[in-house]
Chain A
Amino acid sequence: MSLPVHTDDDRRRLLEAVGVSHVDELFSSIPPAIRQVRLDLPAGLTELETRTRVEALSAADTTPDSASFLGAGCYRHFVPAAVRALVSRGEFATAYTPYQPEVSQGTLQHIFEFQTCVCELTGLDVANASLYDGPSALAEAAFMALRLTRREEILVSQGVHPETARVVDTYAGGPGFPVHRLPLDALTGTTVFDCASLSPAIGAVLVQQPNFLGVVEDIPALAEAAHAAGALLVVSVNPSTLGVLEPPGRLGADIVAGDVQVFGNAPSFGGPSAGFMACGTAHIRQIPGRLVGQTTDSEGRRCYTLTLQAREQHIRRAKATSSICSNQALSALAATVHLALLGPDGLRERGEICLKRAHHLHAALCALPGVRPFVTGPFFLEFALALPCPAAEFAQAMRGHGVDPGVPLTRLLLGADAGPSGAGTSPGGLVPEHVLLVAVTEINTPEALDRYVAAARETLAALTPEEPTP
């Protein structure tokens, strides 16, 4: 067990100074009826024993390699060693919220740099210090849009990841904000926005870029439609694409949210990462979460401090813009350091590698018998394939070849995360058991792409024996 810091002698001195003979006396305010006798947990272990136990659990998992093509909201990217080295520094990791700015300039300044990076990526003026993750950031953005429009209904594209849509449903369930869905076009996979059928109470329109099927949405058209309806357009964007794609903030999006997992943060079974949110200056008083601002000290030196805190729970209590009290400072730092290492050229190049490799693999797979694109819209680093056999069966067989070929859409849509309002119906209402979602990043080497295609050819031949030609 972890050794206590007090020696027996120190403990005696502490008890004496407090004026009690036994530490139990300090717990006398706990009513006897609920006084616990002992915790029913195993005895403590030494550090060595602990390691052995935890390492055995880690070893029981399968660590993905360059032939893993899973994405769907969590992407494996290469993280330079400098990121981990800097983020691991105790001065960053073991500090608390920067409530004492004079001894927190390190944290405050890196958050200010993060805010700047998010503004640069999204094309908007203001970004907060980060939120819990991408999905909860999108839910917060929807609430913010409703406050700004003084409306109560939310419209969510079916191109938004079903888990993210479920988070929006769950948040909206508290105050009872109605949530409606926008369908995807069955052919292209892009969001269909028919203004005519719109409720006048809709204040927030939520889309994802690229969307859940990997398709690049037409942001200018969606913004125009949302604005014509008096609503705000909220875009959840994969920031990995923003060295190549024009930022949503320059295409009419009012609020841009997302997750910086793709910069500097290991997948870590889905968390932690950091959500981000950006908006225009006009909307600054309604943005949730921490903001770091630049100011000067009494000597005129430039410094940073938490600011505009009248929006937040510790000041405004029940009238705060959100109950969020923290941010994800260390995950945001990982992203900032990674972006600083990448620079503008590195960001664009990384995006182009993903894009080119994804298209290469897409073309090679679609040339296999029975494989076709599930939808036809333009895609970036992720795409949906319609297979001639159930995707889950295909994936299992492919893992036998050492290739994890992607996420079967059924895993995300059927039962698993289909919320009460039907987050998970597919274009045209098909049950997409034959659809596989494939993600490609710079981790997936050209050799791994070749292995994928070869294994897929073999697997499909085994799973879908050719009809004898008459």
Chain B
Amino acid sequence: MTIDRTEPLIFDKSLPGHRAVDLPAAGVPETDVSKLLPGVPLRTTPPRLPELAEPQVVRHYTRLSQLNHSVDTGFYPLGSCTMKYNPKVNDEMAALPGFAELHPYQAQSEIQGILRLMYETEQMLLEITGLRRATLQPAAGAHGELTGVLMIKAYHRDHDGTERDTVIVPDSAHGTNLASAAMAGYRVVEIPSSPRGLIDVEALRSNLSERTAAVMMTNPNTLGLFEEDVLQISSLAHEAGALCYYDGANLNAVMGKARPGDMGMDVVHLNLHKTFSTPHGGGGPGAGPVAASATLAPYLPVPLVHRSETDGTFTLDYHRPLSIGRVKGFYGNVSVIVRAYTYLLRMGADGLTRASEDAVLSANYLRARLQGLFPVPHEGPCMHEFVASATAHLAQEVTARDVAKRLLDFGIHPPTIYFPLIVPEALMVEPTETEDLRALDSFVGAMRQIDREAREDPEILRTAPHTTVVGRPDEVQAARHPILRWQA
């Protein structure tokens, strides 16, 4: 008999007449709503929101939380996502009333603390990236990409480069790189990677032209390999009149070791929710600051935080005539920025460098321990992550997906699968620096058992997971007959 431990929808638990919120009386002379809103169409049927008392609401969402895997509950070696531990002090600092309750339009004399925090965050990120100025406005990595590409577009518009309509990306790139370039109105050309898994410099050279606006790259790339030819790549791009975009998704590998600015990059986005330890939130909010070289800094969105040379006060600087404008309301995901600032202060120069070292060391450890079971097609050492392949298991009709699903039974979140697209049956493993040796070893143990099961009892993998609240969802049914909301 199937045991159903799922939780009903909150709408199905609703009991008319119950409520959880007590509100004060208006406390002003009673007037009829329709008199206050003359001629305005008023709601005739109320929205079908749930009607429940507070304990039932709290139980429902507590129960839902228990259906999640999270960094707080287990190992999460999800490649490209940097699922490091999120220190609890960060959350407490973000909740301080002097940040959480601030309104974005308070007078500048009332917001000196938060402006200073934003300014100092920018300064620290500039030191880490080796660039000139940064905006904290974008809400996420992909949002930062869009911002950076729009800045590139504005630059070319100002420098007789309107015929530059193409952005070059390697085939190992995140999908967001291509989508952001396309959203900014560019044509995208993908170039193949070399057999070593790096950008093929000759392929790049032959694709660069007077129509190239930018080259977008991730370094270390999505195979977890440092692009050794990065200086040649940025020189070639610049010689062709193009600019260089750096996807900072993998910055966790190189803090204190190498800086995008020194690599010749013109614009970089960072993911505060990856490298700088802010929680991922189940898919957001994150933050995707964008740092720019002297060439592109004038195009950053407004406002930037300005520090007065004379009296040290902070103001919001809107007078930036070349700015692309805005990509978001107000100033960014500020509570995320407070968390990252807290992390940066606490880590300091040595802590950040040590974080990158340990992230790389742990990835290489797993790579070495798994090499015989799930080979890595590209030569190492790797940086903070590596991409193994489960192709050897296809003979037993076991796929990377089956391996991933079986890992769930061990209480371990699987690696990223089927990405990057250039590795068949890809398993992209990123342990991060916050997992201890015991956690790394239990992952190796689980992978060993899975490898054994693939040979001895492959059915257990094909039907995995077996211990989770639900099994594999029927994705085809979900897409063919979309049910996207509760119906009574």
Say yes or no for A433: interface residue by CB 8 A criterion: no
Question: A10 interface residue, CB < 8 Å from B?
Answer: yes
A213 close to chain B: CB less than 8 A: no
Closest beta carbon of chain A to B376's beta carbon, Å: 13
> What are the residues of chain B within 8 A of A117 when measuring CB–CB?
47, 49
User: What mask results when residues 258 to 298 of chain A are scored 1 for a CB within 8 Å of chain B, else 0?
Assistant: 01000000111111101000000000100000111111111
Q: B-facing mask of A27-63, CB < 8 A → 1, else 0?
A: 1111101111011111111110011011111111111
326-376 of chain B: CB within 8 A of chain A: 326-336, 338, 341-355, 357-358, 360-362, 364-365, 368-369
Chain A residue at minimum C-beta to C-beta distance from B89: A47
Q: Contact between A326 and B478 (Cβ–Cβ < 8 Å)?
A: no
Q: Scan A126-154; emit 1 where CB is below 8 A from any B CB, else 0.
A: 11011011111000000100000000000
Contact status A330-B64, CB under 8 Å = no
Contacts of A41 in B (CB 8 A): 124, 127-128, 344, 348-349, 352
Residues of A within 8 A of B11 (CB): 113, 116
CA gap between A137 and B470 in the complex, in Å: 33
Q: Which residues of A contact B2 (CB under 8 A)?
A: 299-301
Smallest beta-carbon distance B88→chain A, Å: 9
**In the assembly, what is the distance between CA of A12 and CA of B185, in Å?**
51
Q: Is A120 within 8 A of B49, CB to CB? A: yes
CB of A100 within 8 A of CB of B404, answer yes
Given contacts A30-B254, A104-B68, contact A127 B485 (CB under 8 A): yes
Contact B140 A325 (CB under 8 A): yes
A70 close to B (CB within 8 Å)? yes
Residue numbers in A under 8 Å from B153 (CB-CB):
173-174
Would you call A317 an interface residue if the criterion is a C-beta within 8 Å of the partner chain's C-beta atoms?
yes
| B283 cross-chain contacts in A, Cβ below 8 A | 96-98, 107, 129, 290, 326-329
Chain A residue at minimal CB-CB distance from B323:
A170
Is the CB–CB distance between B351 and A44 below 8 Å?
yes
**Residue interface mask B262-277, A partner, CB < 8 A = 1:** 1100000000000000
CA A89 to CA B68, docked complex, whole Å: 11
Contact A82 B54 (CB under 8 A): yes
Would B348 and A42 count as touching, CB distance under 8 A?
A: yes
- One of A4, A18, A74 near B104 (C-beta < 8 A): A74
Are A45 and B6 neighbours in the complex by a CB distance under 8 Å? no
Tell me the bound Cα distance from A197 to B127 in angstroms.
Answer: 52
Asked if A170 and B325 make an inter-chain contact with CB atoms under 8 angstroms apart, the answer reads yes
| CB-based nearest B residue for A271 | B333
Most buried by B among A18, A39, A43, A395: A39
The answer to the question of B51 belonging to the interface, with a C-beta cut-off of 8 Å to chain A, is yes
A274–B285 Cα distance when bound, in Å, is: 8
For A254, list chain B residues within 8 Å (CB). none
Binds A, one of B24-32, B200-208, B290-298: B24-32
A187 interface hit (Cβ, 8 Å):
no
The answer on a CB contact under 8 Å between B256 and A39 is yes
Specify which chain A residues have a CB less than 8 angstroms from the CB of B67 in the assembled complex. Answer: 103-106, 109
Q: Which residues of A contact B25 (CB under 8 A)?
A: 353
1/0 per residue, CB under 8 A from A, across B162-188: the answer is 000000000000111011111111001
For A396, list chain B residues within 8 Å (CB).
107
Give complex CA distance A6, B178 in Å: 38
Q: Are A271 and B334 in contact, CB atoms less than 8 angstroms apart?
A: yes
Binds B, one of A160-168, A225-233, A365-373: A160-168
Residues of A within 8 A of B485 (CB): 112, 115-116, 119, 125-127
Q: What residues of chain B lie closer than 8 Å to A451, measured between beta carbons?
A: none
With most chain A CB atoms within 10 A of its CB, the pick from B49, B287, B346 is B49
Q: Does B142 contact A (CB under 8 A)?
A: yes
Contact of A308 among B142, B437, B479 (CB under 8 A): B479
- Decide if B226 touches A30 in the complex (CB within 8 Å): yes
Residue of B nearest to A278 (CB): B485
Contact residues in A for B29 (Cβ distance below 8 Å): 360
Dominant SS among interface residues on chain B: loop
Contact B21 A34 (CB under 8 A): no
Q: A101 near B72 (CB under 8 angstroms)?
A: no
Instruction: Tell me the complex Cα distance, A38–B352, Å.
Output: 10
Query: Which of B40, B70, B99, B342 has a CB less than 8 Å from the CB of A50?
Result: B342
- Complex interface residues of chain A between 365 and 383 (CB less than 8 A to chain B): 378, 380
B346 & A404 in contact (Cβ 8 Å cutoff) = no
| Smallest CB gap from A246: residue in B | B41
Minimum CB–CB distance for A362 against chain B, Å: 10
From 288 to 324 in chain A, residues with beta carbon under 8 angstroms from any chain B beta carbon are: 290-305, 307-310, 312-320, 322-324
Across the interface, name the chain A residue whose C-beta is closest to B259.
A36
Whether A345 is near chain B, meaning CB under 8 Å from some CB there, is: yes
Query: Is B101 in contact with chain A by the CB < 8 A criterion?
Result: yes
Report the Cα distance A308→B221, complex, angstroms.
28
- Contacting A at CB under 8 A, from B238-294, are 254-259, 262-263, 279-287
> Which stretch (B79-87, B389-397, B447-455) binds chain A?
B79-87
For B51, what are the chain A residues with a Cβ–Cβ distance below 8 Å? 343-345
Q: Is B408 an interface residue (CB 8 A)?
A: yes
Q: Which residue of B lies closest to A320 (CB)?
A: B179
* A132 touches which of B31, B139, B344 (Cβ 8 Å): B139
A247 near B: Cβ within 8 Å? yes
Contact for A353 among B26, B258, B358, CB less than 8 A: B26
Chain B residues lying within 8 Å of A242, measured Cβ to Cβ, are: 43, 47
With a cutoff of 8 Å between Cβ atoms, the chain A residues found around residue B41 in the complex are: 219-220, 245-246, 251
Q: Which of A33, A85, A116, A396 has the most CB of B within 10 A?
A: A116
* CB-CB under 8 A for A173 and B345, given A271-B328, A301-B2: no
B475 closest partner in A (C-beta): A305
- The smallest beta-carbon distance between A125 and chain B, in angstroms, is 8
Interchain CA distance A348-B330 in the complex, whole Å: 28
Q: Does A171 contact B (CB under 8 A)?
A: yes
Q: Report the nearest A residue to B128, measured CB to CB.
A: A39
- Report B443-488 residues with CB < 8 Å from chain A CB: 463, 465, 468-475, 477-479, 482-486
A86 within 8 A of B: yes
Q: From residue 415 to 461 of chain B, which have CB atoms closer than 8 A to chain A?
A: 416, 419, 433-437
A387 within 8 A of B: no
Does B62 touch A at the CB level, under 8 Å?
yes
Cβ-defined partner of B64 (8 Å) among A40, A109, A246, A274: A109
How far, in Å, is A36 (CB) from chain B's closest CB?
A: 6
Residues of the B chain whose Cβ atoms lie less than 8 Å from the Cβ of A107: 68, 282-283
CA distance A220 to B249 in the complex (A): 45
Give the docked Cα–Cα distance between A427 and B473 (Å). 54
A170 to chain B, nearest CB (A): 4
A379, B184: Cα distance in complex, Å: 37
- Contact A95-B360, Cβ < 8 Å, known A54-B342, A58-B97, A318-B188: no
How far is the CB of A307 from the nearest CB of chain B, in Å?
4
15 CB < 8 A contacts A-B: A39-B352, A44-B349, A54-B342, A63-B101, A90-B71, A91-B70, A95-B282, A105-B6, A170-B301, A307-B484, A317-B178, A326-B142, A333-B61, A355-B33, A378-B40
What 7 A-B pairs are tightest by C-beta distance, nearest first? Answer: A270-B330, A44-B348, A58-B98, A90-B72, A60-B113, A330-B281, A270-B104
